[in-house]
Each structure stands twice: as structure tokens, then as C-alpha cells.
Amino acid sequence: MTTVLHLIQRVEWERLVADDPITNPSLQTEGFIHCTDDEQVLLRVANAFYRSVPGDFVVLDVTVEDLTSACIWEAPAHLTSADTDAAPAAPLAPLFPHVYGPIDRTAVTGARAVVRDSDGSFVGYADASST
């Protein structure tokens, strides 16, 4: 089975009713939900784009085979040569899984808190019981 990771604010995760699918603004603005398949890359992306966003975050483990939406590995959507902290510049950049529709709750096999440093940096993950 293939697992991808999706970062979500804890308040958004807790706001969902048990069977609600996961969506986010990028689904409306870009047509897909951003994910990664690498925990270290997720931390780098979180630090590049969400470090200044206050609050707690959760990483969801999503089983690709259980999605009803397509999951396609593609070049990063926002990468420029200035984004060196997020990933190397194209064409050496890794491919990222993009989910072209809502993430089904049945595809979420785990949720873990993302640990932040006092300066807001994303530094690691708590165990599954922390969500």
C-alpha cells in the first residue's frame, strides 16, 4: 500500500465530523490537495510555507489505494529557485503527490501531531496517540 502525508491545522482536523472528507483552499484554487510521501520533506515544506502560521498542526497518513480521488505525482506547484528551503530547484525537485479531489476519511489511516519549536519551526512528529 502507498501512503502519502497531508498537513492540516489541528483546529481544521478537529472541526471535521467523523465522515467528512478532507478539503482545503488549494482544492478550489489549484484543483488539488498538496501531499508528500516523505516525512522530512513535509517538515521542510511546513517550515517554508507555514512557519509563521500559529497553532498546532497534524499530519495525516493517507492510503492512496483507498482514495476515490486521483492521486498523481507531479512537480511542485509553487517551486521557484528562491524556494531552496522547501526543495531543490526544478528539474531536480522531487515529485509530489497531488490529490485531485477530497481526501476520503476512510483513506486516513493515522493522524499525528507535528512538533514545533518555540520559534514556530516544525521539527518532528509525536506518536499517533497525541492527536
pLDDT tens digits along 32-78: 999 999 999 999 999 999 999 999 999 999 999 999 999 999 988 66
Residue 71 contacts residue 4 (beta carbons within 8 Å):
yes
DSSP track, 92-107: SSPPEEEEESPBPGGG
pLDDT tens digits along 91-125: 556 789 999 999 999 999 999 999 999 999 999 99
Distance of CA 43 to the CA centre of its chain: 9
Q: Which domains does the chain have, with CATH numbers?
A: 3-125 (3.20.170.20)
Tell me the three state secondary structure of residue 77.
coil
Model pLDDT, residue 82:
45
CA-CA distance, 41 to 55, in Å (whole number)? 20
- Show the cell assigned to 52: 509563521
Task: Return the amino acid letter for 107.
Answer: A
CA-CA distance, 89 to 85, in Å (whole number)? 10
